[in-house]
């Protein structure tokens, strides 16, 4: 029997990369998956992959920086499936890669809007629903950049430090309500974002890989496995934590 049969999972930023891999991983364990994102074609492709993996689900076009979109997303989930068991708040952007003196107010607003406000808004409505039904599990997308500084990515690094703070505070608020809140903090991962950060340069890619003692960057499926575990009953006594899936980079 599949471990997550009859469970309902919501994933933001589910159109590609880690979000898509996590949607498929949930489906393989029997969960129904709601994919949220801004790109309809890519989101619909994730739904196809979810169904191919033996699950079910739907795509809801969503901008995580807009309260009306998040309200609609959670309401649509509950209206369609009756509840919300798991949420992976994965949507985010890296912003402009440049020294702090060259970054702009617009860069700050874009990154913090998606990476911090988006996570906060999602948790606000997800927790509201989980309190009504008596439990649930949330995983927020953080990063090793939430533990260390990242040159030329000061705003991104600050945003991921903020995600860890949000995660800890929310976890404490709802710990006695049957709701667990954790974060996953990847190192480098084979995604479109990683390609943009390295500029596709093979030398930069090799340098990034060398920063991980394990000798390579991660596959999206490896991060997905951690997210599914954090949501599952196997992690029933884990809350307020960050699971660093980083090939040893932070040690």
Active-site entry in 81, 86, 125, 156: 156
Residue keyed to tokens 């999972």: 9
SS3 content of the chain, % helix, strand, coil (to 5): 50, 15, 30
Of 181, 191, 182, 180, give the one whose Cα is nearest residue 222. 191
Give CA–CA dist 225/187, Å, rounded. 15
Supply φ then ψ for residue 179, to 5 degrees: -115, 125
Of 34, 23, 26, 29, give the one whose Cα is nearest residue 58. 34
CB count in 10 Å sphere of residue 45: 16
Question: Is residue 156 flagged as an active site residue?
Answer: yes
Residue keyed to tokens 């689900």: 57
Q: Which residues are catalytic?
A: 156
């Amino acid at each position: 029997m599949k471990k997550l049969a009859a469970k309902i999972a919501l994933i933001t930023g589910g159109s590609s990369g880690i979000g898509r891999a996590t949607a498929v991983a949930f489906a393989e364990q029997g969960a129904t998956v709601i994919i949220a994102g801004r790109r309809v074609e890519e989101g619909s492709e994730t739904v196809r992959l979810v169904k191919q993996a033996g699950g079910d689900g739907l795509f809801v076009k969503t901008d995580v920086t807009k309260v009306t979109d998040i309200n609609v997303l959670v309401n649509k989930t509950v209206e369609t499936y009756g509840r919300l068991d798991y949420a992976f708040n994965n949507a985010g952007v890296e912003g402009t890669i440049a020294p702090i003196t060259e970054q702009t107010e617009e860069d700050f607003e874009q990154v913090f809007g998606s990476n911090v406000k988006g996570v906060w808004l999602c948790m606000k409505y997800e927790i509201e629903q989980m309190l009504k039904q008596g439990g649930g599990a949330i995983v927020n997308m953080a990063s090793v950049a939430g533990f260390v500084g990242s040159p030329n990515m000061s705003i991104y690094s600050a945003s991921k430090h903020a995600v860890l703070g949000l995660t800890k505070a929310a976890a404490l608020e709802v710990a006695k309500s049957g709701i667990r809140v954790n974060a996953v903090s990847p190192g480098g991962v084979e995604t479109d974002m990683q390609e943009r950060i390295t500029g596709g340069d093979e030398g930069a890619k090799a340098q990034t890989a060398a920063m991980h003692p394990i000798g390579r960057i991660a596959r999206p499926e490896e991060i997905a496995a951690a997210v599914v575990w954090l949501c599952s009953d196997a992690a029933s006594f884990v809350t307020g934590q960050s699971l660093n899936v980083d090939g040893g980079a932070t040690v």
